[in-house]
């Protein structure tokens, strides 16, 4: 497909690499020939996102544990939209959410909120403000120190410090859910023929997407 003159589009450097790989792997190129590539990509994102969250939600329903939570959404988007970005690597994902969990619960403990009702039920107190601010600040700082930046982890730590999920066992479940989603990303991206890492990206530039038309 020929490049268009609108090469400065935000998505131009991130066109559907995963979709192209899957199309080639399963020899269904007629879909791309018959329909716009962007539409095929959008359909892939829809189906994969639906299957991903539906699976974890079914596990959550069967086990009555928080196997599905808001920050899984942006993590899934990173996995299948920019799979070779550093933040989408398994290492950054597992470490990032783990840091968010530890910081969120640590903030609860420091402010004595381990057993307090969630902020949505009682309102935001001074202690809750302190816990939320500390959890997010420490999560960001530690992700930088450990070179494991994963933006969705900022939502994970707030889920905990705001009291939405606080039981230690449920915090472990959150990390297990992240691991399951990461395994799915490895399978899907490698099935598509993408050089997606099993753990961390190889040494290279800060971002793996090519830059169109220079800087």
All structural domains of the chain with their residue ranges: 16-191
pLDDT on residue 34? 78
How much is the pLDDT for 166? 96
Residue with tokens 């018959």: 34
Mean pLDDT by 10 residues, the chain (215 residues): 42 53 60 75 82 90 92 94 93 98 98 96 96 98 98 98 96 96 91 88 53 39
* pLDDT in the model for residue 168: 96
């Amino acid at each position: 497909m020929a490049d268009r003159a609108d090469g400065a589009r935000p998505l131009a450097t991130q066109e559907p690499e995963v979709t192209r790989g899957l199309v080639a792997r399963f020899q269904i190129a007629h879909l791309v020939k018959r329909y716009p590539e962007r539409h095929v990509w959008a359909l892939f994102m829809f189906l994969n996102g639906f299957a991903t969250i539906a699976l974890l939600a079914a596990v959550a329903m069967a086990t009555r544990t928080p196997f599905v939570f808001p920050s899984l959404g942006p993590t899934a988007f990173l996995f299948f939209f920019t799979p070779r970005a550093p933040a989408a690597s398994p290492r950054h994902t597992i470490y990032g959410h783990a840091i968010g969990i530890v910081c969120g619960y640590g903030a609860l403990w420091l402010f004595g909120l381990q057993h307090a009702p969630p902020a949505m039920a009682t309102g935001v107190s001074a202690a809750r403000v302190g816990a939320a601010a500390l959890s997010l600040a420490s999560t960001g700082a530690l992700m930088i120190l450990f070179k494991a930046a994963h933006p969705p982890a900022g939502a994970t730590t707030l889920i905990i410090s705001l009291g939405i999920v606080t039981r230690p066992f449920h915090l472990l479940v959150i990390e297990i859910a992240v691991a399951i989603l990461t395994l799915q990303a490895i399978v899907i991206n490698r099935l598509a023929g993408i050089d997606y890492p099993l753990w961390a990206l190889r040494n290279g530039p800060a971002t793996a997407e090519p830059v169109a038309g220079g800087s």
